[in-house]
A = this chain, B = another copy of it.
Amino acid sequence: MKIFSKILAGLLVAGTALVAEAQQTDSLIIRKLYSEALSNRSSYEQLRHLSTRIGGRLSGSVQAAQAVNWSKAEMEKLGLDRVYVQEVMVPHWVRGEKEEGKIVPVKGKKVAVSVCALGGSVGTGKKGITAEIIEVKSLAEVAKLGKEKIAGKIIFFNRAMEPSHVSTFHAYGGAVDQRSRGAIEAAKYGAVAVIIRSMNLALDDYPHTGAMRYDETVAKIPAAAISTNGAEFLSHRLKDEPGLKFFLKQNPQTLPDAKSHNVIGEIKGTENPDEIIVVGGHLDSWDLGQGAHDDGAGCVQAIEVLRLMKALQIKPKRTIRAVMYMNEENGVRGGLKYAEEAKTLNENHIAAIESDAGGFTPRGFGIDGPAKHIKQIQEWKKLLEPYGLHDIGPGYGGVDIGPLRKNSPETALIGLEPDSQRYFEIHHAASDTFDKINQRELALGAGAMAALVYLLSEYGL
């Protein structure tokens, strides 16, 4: 018994030493991944190209097709085991001519304000719509006002994102129902159009687009966003001049679905090639800006993860894929397609990471998956905290990787969580341009994902 204890103790010591040694190796490799990410500017230059040479790339657009070809070519340069595309049919909505929004006082001059059509909205007709405008703060207020007050009017949803939330995503979650369901609610009571205060915590002149929905049971009425400055101004005018009218003109169109693609690059695992780890972002963007943060950043970071593995000559034990999804913004067709293909091929995705919250300094990972997986990833905290990754715990994965949940309850869906303060200033607006990208913050995001991908590929889940 004594001898057995000694052996056991010896084994424990040896085991602890092995764990310690492995952690030292891991720590060193993570250090090298970060050093390479911070020292090499190629993903920043890729994002410059994607943002400024290709530009905004809404699903179905020429630019979206260019982005597919470009990202495929970029990955082909890396000497990966496989680069391929997945065909997917996507919605094809086009904005058409520049929108017009004007405050129409009972007396005096019309005043132009900055508006844009929400994604998926119908048009107003060539002549536009002029109608009395009513300010509300919520969907519930529309129901409360009822048909008598709403019918024939333009409804102005003006509930601001709540600034007191530290996470701007919480503030977004608390306001975005106005954008996504405002047109449905207003149409139920006979409104002729809706104007939505932009989902933006800053006060500026950019209208922010974004997806909105219709309901087949009610009329489809035009929906536009107004800049936060415009919303403040309109609200003040309404206080002074009840009965104010508004003129809205926009003529976007929904064309037939278009053919597009997801773009995928892969490094085959050496020991467990059938266990797949995905890292990705979405290639499409809204049309107003350059889609630099949303989500060019996520795309070049995903490519960078593979480049880092090659640059450090890491041969991952499990298969790593960078996936650039198409159509996150208005349909998620790429994400659905990817999951569908994975199911058809009976692929085993142990984890999927998405970067779709901007190319800002990363602060952690949100994990959607079994508690045991979350626990295991949290045990890597001491390896990740030196890089500022403290917030590692249950959370949200991402829109594009979400469909993988249907394939398996086991897959860890992981969202990179960057600092969120600046995100909604540029989200879905003309201000989402390359000059808002910081090279080091972008690189840290790639480093964070590379570190986690490396650990996942070494140890599995």
| Given the contacts A201-B440, A419-B361, A39 and B163 also touching, CB distance less than 8 Å | yes
How does the 8 Å CB contact mask read for A346-384 relative to B, with 1 for contact and 0 for none? Answer: 000000000000000101000000000000000000000
Q: Which residues of B contact A363 (CB under 8 A)?
A: 388
- The reply on A138 being an interface residue by CB < 8 A is no
A368 CB to nearest B CB, Å: 21
Q: Among B38, B386, B390, B421, which residue has its beta carbon within 8 angstroms of that of A361? A: B421
With A388-B363, A390-B390, A444-B421 given, is the CB distance from A35 to B164 under 8 Å? yes
Contact of A163 among B201, B202, B391, B440 (CB under 8 A): B440
In the complex, whether A34 has a CB less than 8 A from a CB of chain B is yes
A166 in complex: contacting residue of B166, B201, B386, CB < 8 Å = B386
Provide the A417-442 mask, 1 if CB < 8 A to any CB of B, else 0.
00101100100000000000011110
A202 and B425 alpha carbons, distance in the complex (Å): 23
Question: Given the complex, which residues of B lie within 8 Å of A438, measured CB to CB?
Answer: 421-422, 425
Q: Are A164 and B34 in contact (CB under 8 A)?
A: yes
- Bound: A186/B38 CA distance, A: 32
A387 within 8 A of B: yes
**Chain copies in the assembled complex:** 2
Q: Verify B388–A439 contact, CB threshold 8 A.
A: no
User: Smallest CB-CB separation from A35: which chain B residue?
Assistant: B164
Taking a contact as CB atoms closer than 8 A, the residue among B35, B166, B439, B444 that contacts A387 in the complex is: B166
Q: Which residue of chain B has the shortest Cβ distance to A162 in the bound complex?
A: B39
Instruction: Name the interface size band of chain A.
Output: 20 to 34
User: In the complex, what residues of B have CB within 8 A of residue A440's CB?
Assistant: 163, 168, 201, 421-422
**Contact assessment for A419 and B419 in the assembled complex, using a CB-CB cutoff below 8 Å:** yes
Q: Kindly list chain B residues whose C-beta atoms are within 8 Å of the C-beta of A35.
A: 164
Chain B residue with Cβ nearest A387? B166
Most chain B CB inside 10 Å of its own CB: which residue of A38, A387, A438, A444:
A38
Contact (Cβ within 8 A) B166 A34: yes
User: Once bound together, how far apart are the Cα atoms of A34 and B38, in whole Å?
Assistant: 33
How near does chain B come to A365, taking the closest CB pair, in angstroms?
14
Residues of B within 8 A of A164 (CB): 34-35, 38-39
CB neighbours of A168 from chain B (8 A) = 440
Select from chain B the residue with minimum beta-carbon distance to A32: B164
- CB interface residues, A 186-230, toward B, < 8 Å: 201-202
CA–CA, A88 to B444, complex, Å? 43
| CB-defined contacts of A34 to chain B, threshold 8 Å | 164, 166
Question: Can you show 8 pairs from A to B with CB atoms below 8 A apart?
Answer: A35-B164, A166-B387, A166-B388, A168-B440, A361-B361, A388-B391, A390-B390, A421-B444
CB within 8 Å of B: which residues of A? 34-35, 38-39, 163-166, 168, 201-202, 361, 363, 385-388, 390-391, 419, 421-422, 425, 438-441, 444
Counting from the closest, the 8 A-B pairs by CB-CB distance are: A35-B164, A390-B390, A421-B440, A38-B163, A39-B163, A38-B164, A421-B441, A361-B419
Other A-B pairs beyond A166-B444, A202-B439, A421-B441, 13, CB < 8 Å? A34-B164, A35-B164, A38-B163, A39-B163, A166-B386, A166-B387, A166-B388, A168-B440, A361-B361, A363-B388, A390-B390, A422-B440, A425-B438
